[in-house]
Amino acid sequence: MLSGFDIGIDLGTANILVYSKNKGIVFNEPSVVAIDTVTKNVVAVGSEAKEMIGKTPEKIVALRPLKDGVIADFDVTTEMVKLVMRKASKKAGISLRKPNVVVCSPSGSTSVERRAIQDAIRNAGAKKITMIEEPVAAAIGAGLPVDEPVANVVVDIGGGNTEVAIISFGGVVAYHSIKIGGDRLDDDIVQYVRKEYNVLIGERTAENIKIEIGYALVDHAEAFMDVRGRDLVTGLPKTVTLSSYEIRDAMKEALLHILEAVRATLEDCPAEMSGDIVDRGVILTGGGSLLKGMEEWLSKEIFVPVQLAENPLESVVLGTGKTLKYVDKIVAATATK
């Protein structure tokens, strides 16, 4: 019945990825759209649009139409998906006219938020849409045996939200979803630099700081980075030197919220599955899981082995691509939820 799926889409807050049944991943770019506010036309999408953030004239606005894992601007999201599907089909050298689509939704999303995702993809030209829960897709993409009656624990730290789920026999047994992810860490860095140094930096600079000298709450050799921003007193450009210890402290609150969500999910785990978790551990996926020291810190806090998925950034979209193998069980599990 479901063998006709053409593409899988990971509609992420930070990145949008498209998986073609025959070609693998054919699109992987930021979920950013540049719009001409006068004509309302989309000027650019993906990497090209991200380059424009904070650097465009007044009439062109670069924005992210997805926030906290769900759609914040329906019309812009629809236009973005249309262009992405067009780009993906050109790259794959295939026709994606009226494709069948597998798309993910956060476990904590409401029926209204899920309907918005379906409608946006249908309006972008999809023929048939099947939704699976994001942690299930992440687990499949990470190579976990989700169709077996054993506990698979996934912590998916995305741009807008973090999903923690225990998956067994194709369905979610327990989960917690919080609206804290990589974007919140970037924002905390922006606020810290503003408060401590009276210097304003952009979100792209904050993301670079996080990647270069950002660490989870672990001991590490101190690293430094020179950062340029605008002095809020003089209005002139200014360079400040930041320490990795400062950045670690700036991100502390958000990281502790993520830890809290992991602990809460493990506490909700049925007693029979606890042994599986101790034996099998926890798998980290999503871009946020690439923060230095994340595995070590989480493992120390929850006393369970923690490891990074082989392709953390691509796990969800790879999961949508592999869904055919599990689709009957997964659809049944989602329908009864």
134: nearest Cα among 111, 113, 164: 164
Q: Is 286 annotated as a binding residue?
A: no
Q: Is 290 annotated as a binding residue?
A: yes
CA–CA gap between residue 69 and residue 28 (Å, rounded): 17
If DSSP codes are grouped into helix, strand and coil, which group holds residue 40? Answer: coil
Alpha carbon distance, N-terminus to C-terminus of the chain: 21
Q: Is 89 annotated as a binding residue?
A: no
Q: Is 311 annotated as a binding residue?
A: no
Q: Is 82 annotated as a binding residue?
A: no
143: nearest Cα among 330, 328, 308, 22: 308
Listed in order, strand segments (DSSP E) in 232-328 are 237-243, 282-285, 306-308
The CA dihedral of 85, 91, 92, 98, to the nearest 10 degrees, is 20
Indicate if the alpha-carbon torsion angle 232, 237, 238, 244 is positive or negative: positive
Q: Is 205 annotated as a binding residue?
A: no
Q: Is 83 annotated as a binding residue?
A: no
261 close to 164: Cβ distance less than 8 angstroms: yes
To 5 degrees, how large is the angle CA 19–CA 287–CA 180?
115
Q: Is 14 annotated as a binding residue?
A: yes
> What crossing angle do the helices spanning 74-92 and 111-123 adopt, rounded to 10°?
50
Q: Is 320 annotated as a binding residue?
A: no
CA–CA gap between residue 196 and residue 174 (Å, rounded): 40
Q: Which residues are annotated as a binding site for ATP?
A: 13-15, 207-210, 287-290
Residues in the annotated binding site: 13-15, 207-210, 287-290
